[in-house]
Amino acid sequence: YYWKVVATDPSGSITSSVMNFTVEVTPEWSYETEGYYVRSVDISQDGEYAVMGSNDDYVYLFNKDSNIPIWSYDTDSNMCSVAISADGEYIAAASNNLFYLFDKDSDTPLWSYNAGGCNDKNSLAISEDGQYIALGYDNDIYFWNKDSSTPIWTAPTNNDRVVALSISADGNHIVAGTG
């Protein structure tokens, strides 16, 4: 299966959707966020789950077999970035106001953290097992263990915005790009 995000604007109105494709490039299904852009998507390693963050303020979790979300959560502000662990068990989401961590079985956050406002260049990454999460928000990098909303550490980036960020599968290494 392949997933693809499509945004169209044929008549001046915004229509965005997340689509699930097979190897034949035929959409298995699509889900539209009428009037809102899809800002970020991620997929579990086996392709079973996908997470989407949209300008409609929602985080959506999908199973590859259905365009009906498993759950959705209203963050009350635009979504900036989402990430899902390789096994699909944990979902991280950054909105304009808060950073959230979810378990795939519930639309109630395990915890949230106020890291300040986000912008178009935020990055979010989660280790393969979901144990560690890294977030680039504006001029800082945050690093968490999934069991606590208090960051293990925060690192400033010398007034450079974080525009790209990745974490190793075991969570022992983080690389960040600024600009």
pLDDT of 4:
41
What is the C-alpha separation between 67 and 122, in angstroms, rounded? 27
What is the C-alpha separation between 78 and 105, in angstroms, rounded? 23
List, for residues 130-166, the tens digit of each pLDDT value: 999 999 887 888 999 999 999 999 988 887 788 888 8
Residues 61, 48 contacting (CB under 8 angstroms): no
Q: Which residues of 28-42 are buried (b: 16+ CB within 10 A; e: fewer)?
A: beebebeebbbbbbb
Q: Which residue has the tokens 């600024």?
A: 178
> Considering the entire predicted model, what is its pTM?
0.85
Q: Categorize the per-residue pLDDT at 19 as very low, low, confident or very high, splitting at 50, 70 and 90.
A: low
| DSSP assignment string, 102-150 | EETT-SS-SEEE------TT-EEEE-TTSSEEEEEETTEEEEEETT-SS
What six digits make up the tokens of 73? Answer: 């959560």
Q: Is 124 a residue whose pLDDT tops 70?
A: yes
List, for residues 55-107, the tens digit of each pLDDT value: 899 999 999 999 999 999 999 988 889 999 999 999 999 988 799 999 999 99
Q: Is 3 a residue whose pLDDT tops 50?
A: no
Q: Is 9 a residue whose pLDDT tops 50?
A: no
